[in-house]
Amino acid sequence: MATPAPREPSLFAGVEPLEVFVDLLSEIESGATTAEFYHRICEAICRLTTMRRAAIFLYDAGRMRVRAVGTHGISFARLAKLRPTLEDAPIAQRALAEDRVILVEADMIERELPPDYAKLLGITSLVCTPLAAAGHQYGVIVADRGEGEFELGDGERHLMWTLGKTAALAATARMATRQQERTRRLGERIDLAREIHERVMQRLFGVSLVLSAQQPLTDEQRERCREEMTGALADLRSALERPLAPVAYETGTTLRAEIARLTRETGLPIVLSWPADVEVPRKLEGLTQSILAEAVRNVRKHATPMRVDVCVKRDEDTFELIVRNDGVTGSRPGGGMGLRLGAFEALQHGGFVEFGADKSVEPHGWRVRLVVPLEGALDA
């Protein structure tokens, strides 16, 4: 195939690429699929440079694989079928290690690329551009002018390098947006699970206790079970509708107020230890309140305590909430959801929840402990 006369990148090439990529960035939150996004970057590269075909390969560190994620001017389906590793492609390794654009002469292509690729691309010079920014190496952009040999001027080499940086930034921004979206969805699912757990499961638990009694049910018990089941159904319905409405993340109360309220309302022998100079970081209010609520619910469900200790602590690096009780009554560990949901929620703040028998409390102690690192939570 004859190589078309190259268009020299214009003097204003520095501005146009920026515009094109600003366009791309503004679409990051739109619903374009990953492939569409990378196809568009390849297309932009071909539009802004003398290249006719371009493909983006990303390195997937988890699977230690390289895969084609977008192309322009060459069949994506065919490229995506190939399964290269970074070791197969010394040119990509070199471009990334040296952070520079590398031109492979046509007669070297078989040595620099895996054989499948060389066959698919034909005899061609090839430009390999690192896709790396801010210390992250994502992959490479491979581009050429269609089959045939060509040279690469300094201007265009620099332009390719800049495009590689800009594309890497666009990719970073896109990944960050996706990650945020996933975190938000996970948060919503935890809210939903918690709501079902706190309302529906507690009702069903009550019903199952009544039903597992040995004696026949009285009319009153039967009526109570019916009411609880109806209540559980209504709770389920409202919980399922909830994610469609905006979610209120603020609880509208504080850990301190919740401890006071629960002490009052449950009549549990709660003993509070909370040093005067310790405050709950605002970001952790919701988390601490939900762990407290679950711990107290558990005390009522699984113990008949003489004493329940609630401790709030904070040092330079961590915030802690501990709830301890004695008087554990035949608990059957393993089945529950409440503490696991709490642990999930803690994870979202970089913290953890530990729980289990507490030998330091006699008789039959139990402990739940929430620990959250304070970095970043301090100024919340």
Tokens of 192: 């939903």
Distance CA 364, CA 295 (A): 16
Distance CA 27, CA 22 (A): 9
Q: How far is the CB of 188 from ligand ADP (least distance, A)?
A: 21
Count of residues of this chain found to bind ligand ADP when the rule CB under 6 A is applied: 18
Do residues 285 and 254 make contact, with C-beta atoms less than 8 angstroms apart? yes
Q: How far is the CB of 38 from ligand ADP (least distance, A)?
A: 43
Give the residue, chosen from 335, 360, 362, 363, that forms a contact with ligand ADP under the rule CB under 6 A: 335
Q: How far is the CB of 280 from ligand ADP (least distance, A)?
A: 22
347: phi then psi, degrees, rounded to nearest 5: -55, -35
Q: How far is the CB of 183 from ligand ADP (least distance, A)?
A: 23
CB atoms under 10 Å from CB of 351, counted, come to 23
DSSP state of 314: E
Furthest CA-CA distance within the chain = 94
Distance CA 272, CA 63 (A): 49
Burial class (CB in 10 A: 0-12, 13-18, 19+), 283: middle
CA distances from 212 to 205, 206, 209, 343 (A): 11, 10, 5, 30
Tokens of 166: 């800009």
Q: Within 249-288, which residues bind Mg ion (CB under 5 A)? A: none
Window contacting Mg ion (CB under 5 A); options: 270-278, 294-302, 315-323, 362-370:
294-302
User: Using CB under 5 A as the criterion, what x/- string covers residues 318-347 for binding Mg ion?
Assistant: ------------------x-x---------
Pick what 359 binds: Mg ion, ligand ADP, none; C-beta below 5 to 8 Å, kind-dependent. Answer: none
Closest CB to ligand ADP among residues 54, 196: 196
Q: Within 180-199, which residues bind ligand ADP (CB under 6 A)? A: none
Burial class (CB in 10 A: 0-12, 13-18, 19+), 124: buried
Pick what 7 binds: ligand ADP, Mg ion, none; C-beta below 5 to 8 Å, kind-dependent. Answer: none
Sheet containing 136-144, strands listed edge to edge, beginning at the edge strand earlier in sequence = 65-72, 53-60, 136-144, 126-133, 102-104
Window contacting ligand ADP (CB under 6 A); options: 17-25, 208-216, 284-292, 331-339:
331-339
Pick what 328 binds: Mg ion, ligand ADP, none; C-beta below 5 to 8 Å, kind-dependent. Answer: ligand ADP
Preceding omega of 17 cis (within 30 degrees of 0): no
Q: How far is the CB of 330 from ligand ADP (least distance, A)?
A: 9
Q: Within 278-307, which residues bind ligand ADP (CB under 6 A)? A: 294, 298-299, 301-303
Q: How far is the CB of 197 from ligand ADP (least distance, A)?
A: 7
- State how beta strands 352-357 and 308-314 pair: unpaired
Give the residue, chosen from 266, 340, 344, 371, that forms a contact with ligand ADP under the rule CB under 6 A: 340
Pick what 331 binds: Mg ion, ligand ADP, none; C-beta below 5 to 8 Å, kind-dependent. Answer: ligand ADP
What is the SS3 assignment for 250?
A: coil
CA distances from 147 to 99, 115, 123 (A): 25, 16, 6
Closest CB to ligand ADP among residues 10, 205: 205
By CB under 6 A, residue 312 contacts ligand ADP: no
Closest CB to ligand ADP among residues 53, 194: 194
Tokens of 16: 């146009």
DSSP state of 56: E
Closest CB to ligand ADP among residues 66, 287: 287
Q: How far is the CB of 24 from Mg ion (least distance, A)?
A: 48
**Contacts with Mg ion, residue ranges (CB under 5 A):** 298, 336, 338
**Contacts with ligand ADP, residue ranges (CB under 6 A):** 294, 298-299, 301-303, 325, 328, 331-333, 335-340, 366
